[in-house]
Amino acid sequence: MGEPSTLDRAFQIILKRMVETGQAPYYTELAADLGISPEEGRKVLHKLFSAGIPGWLYPNTDYIVSFAPFNNLPTQYQITIEGHQKWFAQ
């Protein structure tokens, strides 16, 4: 099996950050984790969402709003695990 693609790695980084912190990374943080320039990180972010993953960016920005099953903005669907509520669902 080959190495995961940049998009696969980006997906995993975003999902892991959402699980750990309840917040999606900004593209500069994603770029740092991928070891690429901030501009390349921004392009990877947009390419990932253009690939049809279940999520979206805030219109005309580089901010992740939703990354299934999580939402980066508060919703009425709060997720509490072991007494900690730091996540919102789509």
| Dihedral pair phi/psi, residue 71, rounded to 5° | -120, 135
Query: In terms of DSSP H, where are the helices of the chain?
Result: 6-21, 27-34, 38-50
Across the chain, mean pLDDT equals 93
pLDDT tens, residue by residue, 2-41: 677 999 999 999 999 999 999 999 999 999 999 999 999 9
Does the pTM of the predicted model rise above 0.85? yes
User: Hey, is 56 helix, strand or coil?
Assistant: strand
Tell me the β-bridge partners of 57: 64
Task: Please report the domains of the chain, with CATH numbers, ordered by start residue.
Answer: 6-89 (1.10.10)
pLDDT tens, residue by residue, 39-66: 999 999 999 999 999 999 999 999 999 9
